[in-house]
Amino acid sequence: MPEPQADFSWSPPVGTLGQLIAQAERRVRDAEGERDRLEREVARARAPASFAAAIQSKKTVGIVAEVKRRSPSRGSINPRIDAVKRAAEYVDGGAVAISVLTEPEAFGGSIDDLAQVSFGIKLPTLRKDFIIDELQLLEARMAGASAALLIARAMRPARVAELAKAAHDYGIEPLVEIRDEAELELALAIGAVLIGINHRDLESLVIDVNLGERLLPLVPPDRVAIAESGVSSRRDVERLGAAGADAVLVGSVLSSASDARNAVRALTGVVRMPRG
């Protein structure tokens, strides 16, 4: 995998993202004793289904439906959500893949949620978390995830590249999340196939609804472009699809829906538009 060049600038994240990264670092330290065991088990584990292929196989904008209990921006969303039941409803509604938030402190998730969903349904799953270490990728792999989120803003560019390579080595597809042109350049430089464009600034929690329409057309057509955050209606899916999104990741509005099956179905069927 290509190495990023030295001219990618970076400074440590602040605000909410900085706090979440610090908490992730502590959890990694606490779980350090599991590393050797996980490495041995991953070497024997069966390969998961491809997250990218599931999206690319569709002619419509894929819905990546997320299981989420709470968030720093919205507070409580659905604290008693049954992860497997909700994921099954997403499947019935036509979701192309499932995202599971595993961060425990701010989002109320767990690696157990991921494992139960991954082994309880037939769609590819994404580990959505604040991943800063190979140990978290090993956990994701053993929990059956097909993909894992890597937030470009969270780490030095060289570290993003290292974790992307480790993910591939473990049989996981890295979803590199970006918010500007420089981060897109980094994602392309390290060979990322899955590229997420997050409308939400994780440091300030402010959403820029125009970000996707600015960045989506810049993603090469051989990559998979996923728009994240701030998607709540079919009109949003249509707007992002017209800009070139291959899929959209939808969290809060689906996790809080009283009828998750129909909530997903209402977002499906938007024809994908080619980029480039």
127 vs 135: CA distance, rounded Å: 13
Provide mean pLDDT across the span 106-132.
97
Q: What is the mean pLDDT of the chain?
A: 96
Q: According to the model, what pLDDT value does residue 8 have?
A: 74
In a 3-state reduction of DSSP, which class is residue 35? helix
Residues in Cβ contact with 131 at an 8 Å cutoff, skipping those fewer than 6 apart: 24, 137, 140, 148, 149, 150, 151, 154, 163
- What average pLDDT does the segment 153-169 reach? 97
Q: Which entry of 183, 228, 252, 255 is annotated as an active-site residue?
A: 228
**pLDDT category of residue 276 using cuts at 50, 70 and 90:** confident
Tell the residue number behind the tokens 């995202």, with chain if given: 99
Catalytic one of 78, 128, 146, 252: 128
Residues 219 and 243: their CA atoms lie apart, in Å, by 11
Which residues on neighbouring strands pair with residue 101, listed in sequence order?
128
User: For residue 20, is pLDDT > 90?
Assistant: yes
Average pLDDT estimate for 232-257: 97
The values of phi and psi at residue 253, to 5°, are -65, -30
Query: Residue 53 above 50 pLDDT?
Result: yes
Residue 66 has pLDDT above 70, yes or no: yes
pLDDT at 6: 47
Polymer length of the chain: 276
Assess contact for 169 and 42: CB atoms under 8 A.
no
**What gap in Å lies between CA 238 and CA 123, rounded to an integer?**
23
Catalytic residue among 118, 198, 252, 255: 198
In the predicted structure, residue 138 carries a pLDDT above the cut 90: yes
Distance from the Cα of residue 217 to its chain's centroid:
20
Does pLDDT of 272 surpass 50? yes
User: Comparing 7-21, 49-63, 117-131, which segment has the lowest mean pLDDT?
Assistant: 7-21
Active-site pick, 89, 103, 162, 177: 177
For the residues 28-47, what does the mean pLDDT come to? 95
Q: Please, what are the domains in the chain?
A: 15-265 (3.20.20.70)
Judged against a pLDDT cut of 60, whether residue 1 lies above it is answered with: no
Q: Is-catalytic flag, 68? A: yes
Whole-angstrom distance, CA of residue 112 vs CA of residue 128? 13
Is residue 252 classed as helix, strand or coil in its secondary structure?
helix
Q: Is 128 a catalytic site residue?
A: yes
Measuring CA to CA, how many Å separate 271 from each of 55, 66, 238, 250?
A: 13, 21, 8, 17
Backbone angles phi, psi at 258, to 5 degrees: -75, -25
- Using DSSP's 3-state secondary structure scheme, residue 134 falls into helix
Cα separation, 154 vs 40, in Å, equals 28
Scanning the structure block, which residue is given the tokens 């500007």? 180
Segment 86-107 mean pLDDT:
98
pLDDT in tens, 35-44: 999 999 999 9
- Res 85 pLDDT > 70: yes
